[in-house]
Chain A
Amino acid sequence: MELYRAAVDVLRMFMLLAGSAVIFIGIARGLLEARGAGGRGRVARRIATHASLGLEFFVGATILNLILRPTWAAVAATAVTIVMRKLITLSLGRSARVG
């Protein structure tokens, strides 16, 4: 049982690290591509797509967190992550429509 919980915790940490790394890489690449015409829009799209992917990893981490710690705090954290992810996805869809 302890081994199972430890394995799930390792996976959760991996997902948090992967999500953070993806968001960081998105910001770094966005800043590097900021020069030139239309740079602002390009940077925004680059950061938003990476943030969206990073948040997907965070959602996975909160799912695993709910397994490990089924508490009200974990439920609230999951709800906040889902709302954030949904907002970013909506924002991405809107910016894609606007162009």
Chain B
Amino acid sequence: MASDERAPVPNVPAVYLRPLRATYGIVEELLVVTVGYLRLVVEAIGAAIVGFGAVATAFRYVLSLLGLRDYSNLEIRLYLGRYLALGLEFQLGADILSTAVSPTFQEVQLLAAIVVIRTALNYFLSKELEREREQVSPEPERDALPTR
């Protein structure tokens, strides 16, 4: 279509545009704040999962060290790796949300590097979990409750 055949743009007076711009600004600010809080919540969930996994793994290691349970180091590592992989998934979710509100190119660059690192770590963890799960026998009966 030739440019002269386009529909004419109506000349909207500035007085009508002003409230529209103000509304747009408020909505944008609201969105940035909401995404910021959402990112914080997702990140906190990831951190809590990693923290809980660390405490539970340390507990298992101590039990094994004292001879109260018979976990191998590989089993204990797998146990922690599972929590780390799950926690990392949440961290990646938080990173994705962060990209929505990162204003500068510098911040986006750093965010991209963090995403790459987390993705690589998650990939390696998943691969190792997959491979080592084949080596370790299925969940032993010691964890199961005694049945009559």
The residues of A with any CB-CB pair to B shorter than 8 Å are 4, 7-8, 11, 14-15, 18, 22, 25, 49-50, 52-53, 56-57, 59-60, 63-64, 66-67, 70-72, 75, 78-79, 82, 86, 89
Contacts and interface: CB of A to CB of B under 8 A. Distances in A.
Contacts of A22: 61
A63 B117 CA distance: 10
Contacts of B54: 11, 14-15, 18, 57, 60
Given A60-B50, A64-B50, A82-B120, A18 B58 contact: yes
B73 A82 contact: no
A78 B84 contact: no
Contacts of A63: 50, 84, 87-88, 91, 118, 121
Given A67-B46, A75-B113, A78-B121, 4 more contacts: A4-B40, A49-B74, A56-B81, A64-B47
Interface of A (DSSP majority class)? helix
Contacts of B77: 52-53, 56
Contacts of B76: 53
B96 interface: no
B128 interface: yes
A60 B80 contact: yes
Interface of B: 40, 43-44, 46-47, 50-51, 53-55, 57-58, 61, 65, 73-74, 76-77, 80-81, 84, 87-88, 91, 110-111, 113-114, 117-118, 120-121, 124, 128
A75 B117 contact: yes
A31 to B, nearest CB: 16
